[in-house]
Amino acid sequence: MGWYNKRLAKSLWVFHISGSPCNNCDIEILDLLTPRYDVERLGIKLVGSIRHADVLLVTGIFNQKIAPKIKKIYEQAPKPIFVVAVGTCVSSGCCFKESYNRVEKREEVIPIDMYVPGCPPKPESMIEAVAKLLGVLNG
């Protein structure tokens, strides 16, 4: 599958879910997609429908209400799909770690392939994360 993985690495289409974040990570993600960082030169494109996606960007602590929906969206995606978790919220809960409605273990809702720490992470570090994903795909 080496040849196919190389094609996949050059054309990652991203779908973005916000799973109850403070919304700051989402704003940084939007920053990433602006002309300044121009991720289209790496073949990355934001798509509006989960059926077209290769990468799922998730943010936030996944509260009780949204966790089943995130699971459903993950199941609707055509495989192979990679999940990139943006922000400290997903990895440790950040400032919401004692919130009453959070999901205890987010990696039990959907399998997460990669964490990008930071509160919020800079667009540069998200690009670095994507570059690492590309490195894995290219072998």
The b-or-e profile of 37-62 (16+ CB within 10 A means b, else e) is bebeebebebeeebeebbbbbbbbbb
The verdict on 95 binding ligand SF4 (CB under 6 A) reads: yes
Torsion of CA 61, 130, 15, 69, to 10 degrees: -30
In angstroms, the CA 73 to CA 59 distance is 14
- Cβ 17 to ligand SF4 shortest distance, Å: 12
The identity of residue 77, as a single letter, is A
**Residue numbers of the site for another protein (CB under 8 A)?**
4, 7-8, 10-11, 35, 38, 40-41, 43, 47-49, 51-52, 54, 76, 78-80
Residue among 9 and 89 whose Cβ is closer to another protein: 9
Residue 55 φ/ψ, nearest 5 degrees: -125, 135
The verdict on 94 binding ligand SF4 (CB under 6 A) reads: yes
- Cβ 1 to ligand SF4 shortest distance, Å: 34
Q: Using CB under 6 A, which of 25, 81, 84, 137 touches ligand SF4?
A: 25
Residues that bind ligand SF4 (CB under 6 A): 21-22, 24-25, 59-60, 87-89, 94-95, 119-120
